[in-house]
Structure formats: C-alpha cells, structure tokens
Amino acid sequence: MKNTTEASAFILLGLTSTPELQLPLFAVFLLVYLLTLAGNLGMTLVILLDPRLHTPMYFFLSSLSLVDFGYSSTITPKVLAGLLMDDKLISHYACAAQMFFFILFATMDNYLLAVMAFDRFAAVCKPLHYPVIMTRKMCAHLAFACYTSGFLTAVVEVADTFCLPFCVTNVVHHFFCDIPAVMTLACSDKHINELILVFVASFHLIFALTIILVSYMLIFMTISKMHSGEGYKKALSTCASHLTAVSMFYGTGIFMYLQPSSSHSMDTDKMASVFYTMLIPMLNPLVYSLRNKEVKSAFKKVIARAKLSLAF
C-alpha cells in the first residue's frame, strides 16, 4: 500500500544541489536583491520627494516599484536562506503564504502595466483632455482595481491549489512555492485545478495585454500623424521604457503559465522563474530611470540634497 500520510511541510530543492555553487549563487542573488531594494525604494523616494513628479504617470510608476519590492521580497530571502544555511524546509502554511503574496504582487504588476499603457494613451492621444481623464480620483480607482484583482486572484489560486491532498512525496522541484511545482505533488486528479489555473492566468494576461496592445496601436497611429520631429521623439521616448518592461514581464509570464503541465520542464521553469522573480524587479527601475530625463534629474537633486545635509 502507498503511504498517503500528508507531510506537515514541503522540501524546496532550491536552485542547485551542488555545494560548490551555493556560495557563489548566494553572493550573486544577494547583490541582485540589494540592487532591487535600492532601485525600487529609491525610485519611490525620488518620486515622493520631487513635486514635479507628482503626476499620474509617476504615481503608477511608484506603485509599480513598491509592487516589485514586495514581489522580490516574497521569494528572494527564502532562496538566500536555502543557499547559505541549506534551509530547504517550508511548512504548508508558509508555502501557502508565499504563494499568496507571489500571486498578489504578480497580478498587481500585470494590471499596473496595463494601467500605465492606458495613461500613456491618454497623454499622447488626448493631450488636451488628459488632466480631465487622469484625475486623482481616477488614478486612485485604477490603483484600487489593481490591488483588488490581485487579492481576489491570490485567494482563488491558493485555495484551488491547497484543496488538493498532498501525499507520497513532499519534495517541491523548485526554489519557491510556485503553483505548477506544488500541484505536481497532488495525489488526486488535478485536471480541474489545472484548468482553473490556466483559465485565470489566461484571463488576466490576455485582458491586460489587450489593453496594452490597443493603447499602443492607437498611440503609434497618433505618432505616425505627427508632423513635428520633436513631438514624435518625445511621444516615442515616453513609451519606450514601458514597452521594455512589458516585453520582459509578459514574455516570461506567457512562457510559464500558458502551457499545459505536461510541457513543463522544472529546470527550464527554474531559469525562467529566476528571471521574472528576481531579475525583472531589479531591472525595472533601471529601465525607467536610464531612459527618463525627469527621473535622472530628480535623482541627482535628491543626491545633491543628501550631500548638502551630510556636509552640515
């Protein structure tokens, strides 16, 4: 008879089982995490301190930075603990909590990128009506919708995963409690649960991507009609950073979740997961700050103020 006694905890296999690689990987991911914290919290602080950046675009950018900070902090500390202290055990409750916050921040990230695309559409295509469209009340409602959708999605997906019985093995072939990796441990029929996962992920990705694609289609149609070369460059530059962030986020998201579980290779999934859980949150502030003169100018002012205050 098979042992169907449920274990009280999971074992995360982590990124590697090779002892020689654990310390170098710990150093690399610690640096990535510190850069992520500094970049995202620094971006939020710069936007908060500079009154010129108190606009809808930068409000959503600061929200995205805070979400990326939470996104990375949900995963990376446990990965670092696993690499440094070989701490691979995680309780069912801790696993469910990690999964919940991961889905929460990922869904919020998804919709914030869509809202930012809509904001760019309003700024480029409806410049005279922009202050009327993107009011503070409108921005607050859009942000609240992002947060609410993230919360509801996380509740549904965690409940859908943890209603399954886990038996025989408790070894998760991943470095965090990702849904596909945890679902493979279920010892009952999980076909319906997988369909729910694919449906919910597909709905959110397709809905947000539709908003983004339609927004940019209208933006490029407007840009193509511009006779001023300066206006053309300005409109294009305001969209370039966002398009880069969108490409990075949705490329890995579609690769990970819009395929059947039979097509999943855990080693490939781990590599993709490292990219979207650790590297993208680090790269987003760089993408937005390096291509944005206003952010760079505000950042220099904050540094100058800090040096001045330290001098006195």
Mean pLDDT of 18-38: 90
Domains and CATH numbers, the chain: 9-311 (1.20.1070.10)
Beta-carbon contacts of residue 39 (< 8 Å; ≥ 6 apart)? 65, 282, 284, 285, 286, 289
Model confidence band, residue 307 (pLDDT cutoffs 50, 70, 90):
low
Count of C-beta atoms within a 10 Å radius of residue 63: 22
Give the model's pLDDT for residue 229: 61
CA distances from 246 to 261, 284, 286 (A): 25, 10, 14
Model confidence at 34, pLDDT cuts 50, 70, 90, reads very high
pLDDT in tens, 84-99: 887 788 999 999 999 9
Higher pLDDT, 288 or 168: 288
Question: Which has the minimum average pLDDT: 131-135, 247-251, 259-263, 269-273?
Answer: 259-263
Whether the per-residue pLDDT at 3 is higher than 50: the answer is no
Cβ(107)–Cβ(75) below 8 Å: no
| pLDDT level of residue 135 (50, 70, 90 thresholds) | very high
Residue 125 confidence (pLDDT): 87
Whether pTM > 0.75 for this model: the answer is: yes
Mean pLDDT of 283-293: 74
